[in-house]
């Protein structure tokens, strides 16, 4: 153990050693199981390797392969569509729910918990439940649509057009409660004086919402949109558990493409190259959004 009694060490060295001793257990783990794999992945992106035979250096050819690959382009487009739709709808849903639940209501906690709960339910369980709910001919959702008089309800997971929207619905259902809590926390921070001042000025509910709440919630909205963009861009397990990317490639997102390259084609170089493309896109989006946020708050 390092103590202050060790007189031979200078104060600065001692502080460094003590500080590092706290961080060391965590850092060794992070280094071995995250940082080194990330570095290894970067090297692999320029290699040809199947995980067993000799590695060969191939330069940028993995990246050229990807950009010439129609499956990759299709996955990229679907990932963008998925991200844009789920981010927008989840943000609106979360904001709406938070505004409703910020009022003085009975059973407020019950409503809150109920809407928050799907976030904690396991993907493996809820994916199979929704899969059954979405079944084409006998599923409860289409039964219900039939009752409402919809003559040709969509085929959902069996249809190449409707599979992705079905997955989006489940995504929004699962995550809106989480971001609702973020908004609720932010709503707590709006000073009551603003509310009173708006009242005195004769503002109605809508005016209060647009003129006071929305601007005051801007930082929270930036956070929510940023998190949702990142999370939906790399989302994977929901699609995997519900459709495994199908039918055909209708729901094959970038992450599913990467998974298939790794564990089905054993093309480790292309896997790493594609994963860095994913990372680069996320990084660019993040920096762009942070830039806008900075600009707007000035």
Partner 1 sequence: MIEKKNPASTVITYILLAALTVVTLLPLVWMVSASLKPDIDVFSVPIQWVPKNPMWSNYTTIWSKIPFALFTWNSMKLSVLITLIQVTVSSFAAYGFTKCNFKGRDILFFAYIATIAIPWQVYMLPQYTELRIMNLGDSHTGYILIQSFLAFGVYLMRQFYQNIPNELMEAARIDGLNEYGIYFKIVLPLSKPVIATLSIYWFVRIWNDFMGPMIYFDSESNKTIPLGIRMFIGQYSTEYGLLMASSVVSLIPVIIVFLAFQRFFVQGIATSGMKN
Instruction: Pick out residues in 208-237 that bind partner 1 (CB under 8 A).
Output: 208, 219-220, 223, 227, 230, 234, 236-237
Residue number, 16 or 160, with CB nearest to partner 1:
16
Q: How far is CA 66 from the centre of its chain?
A: 23
CB of 92 to partner 1, least distance (A): 13
Q: 3 to 42, contacts with partner 1 by CB under 8 A?
A: 3-4, 12, 15-16, 18-23, 25-30, 32-38, 40-41
Other beta carbons within 10 angstroms of residue 32's beta carbon come to 10
CB of 50 to partner 1, least distance (A): 11
The answer to whether 64 contacts partner 1 (rule: CB under 8 A) is: no
Residue number, 60 or 125, with CB nearest to partner 1:
125
Map residues 231-270 to x or -, x wherever contact with partner 1 holds by CB under 8 A. Answer: ---x-xx--xx-------------x--xx--xx----x--
CB of 246 to partner 1, least distance (A): 14
CB of 229 to partner 1, least distance (A): 12
Helices (DSSP H) in 189-236: which residue ranges? 192-200, 205-208, 214-216, 218-233
Residue number, 156 or 276, with CB nearest to partner 1:
276
CB of 58 to partner 1, least distance (A): 17
Count residues near partner 1 (CB under 8 A).
101
Output b/e per residue, 191-214; b: 16+ Cβ within 10 A: eeeeeeebeeeebeeeebeeebbe
Map residues 131-170 to x or -, x wherever contact with partner 1 holds by CB under 8 A. Answer: -xx-x--xxx--x---------------------------
CB of 198 to partner 1, least distance (A): 7
Q: 114 to 133, contacts with partner 1 by CB under 8 A?
A: 114-118, 120-126, 128-130, 132-133
Residues shown for the chain: 298
Token couple for 99: 């505004």
The residues near 146 (Cβ < 8 Å, ≥ 6 apart) are 153
Q: Measure the CA–CA gap between 220 and 134, rounded to whole angstroms.
A: 33
The residues near 245 (Cβ < 8 Å, ≥ 6 apart) are 239, 251, 252, 253, 256, 260
Q: 39 to 58, contacts with partner 1 by CB under 8 A?
A: 40-41, 44, 51
Q: Measure the CA–CA gap between 86 and 253, rounded to whole angstroms.
A: 14
Q: What is the DSSP letter of 47?
A: E
Of 124, 101, 216, 106, nearest to 174 by C-alpha is 124
């Amino acid at each position: 153990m390092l103590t202050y009694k060790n007189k031979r060490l200078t104060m600065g060295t001692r502080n460094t050693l003590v500080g590092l001793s706290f961080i060391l257990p965590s850092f060794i783990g992070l280094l071995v199981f995250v940082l080194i794999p990330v570095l290894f992945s970067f090297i692999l992106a320029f290699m040809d390797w199947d995980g067993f035979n000799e590695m060969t250096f191939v330069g940028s050819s993995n990246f050229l392969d990807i950009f010439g690959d129609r499956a990759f382009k299709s996955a990229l487009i679907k990932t963008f569509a998925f991200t844009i739709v789920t981010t927008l709808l989840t943000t609106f849903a979360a904001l709406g729910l938070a505004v409703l639940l910020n009022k003085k209501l009975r059973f407020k906690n019950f409503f809150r918990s109920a809407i928050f709960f799907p976030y904690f339910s396991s993907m493996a369980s809820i994916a199979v439940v929704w899969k059954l709910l979405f079944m084409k001919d006998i599923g409860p959702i289409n039964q219900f649509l039939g009752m409402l008089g919809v003559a040709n309800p969509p085929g959902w997971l069996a249809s190449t057009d409707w599979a992705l929207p079905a997955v989006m619905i489940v995504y929004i259902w699962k995550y809106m409660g989480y971001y609702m809590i973020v908004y609720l926390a932010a709503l707590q921070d709006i000073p009551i004086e603003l509310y009173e001042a708006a009242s005195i000025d004769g503002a109605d509910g809508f005016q209060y919402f647009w003129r006071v709440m929305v601007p005051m919630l801007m930082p929270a909205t930036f956070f929510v949109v940023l998190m949702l963009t990142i999370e939906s861009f790399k989302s994977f397990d929901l699609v995997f558990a519900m459709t495994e990317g199908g039918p055909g490639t209708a729901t094959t997102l970038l992450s599913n493409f990467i998974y298939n390259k790794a564990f089905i084609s054993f093309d480790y170089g292309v896997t790493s190259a594609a994963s860095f493309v994913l990372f680069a896109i996320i990084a660019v989006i993040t920096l762009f959004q942070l830039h806008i946020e900075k600009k707007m708050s000035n």
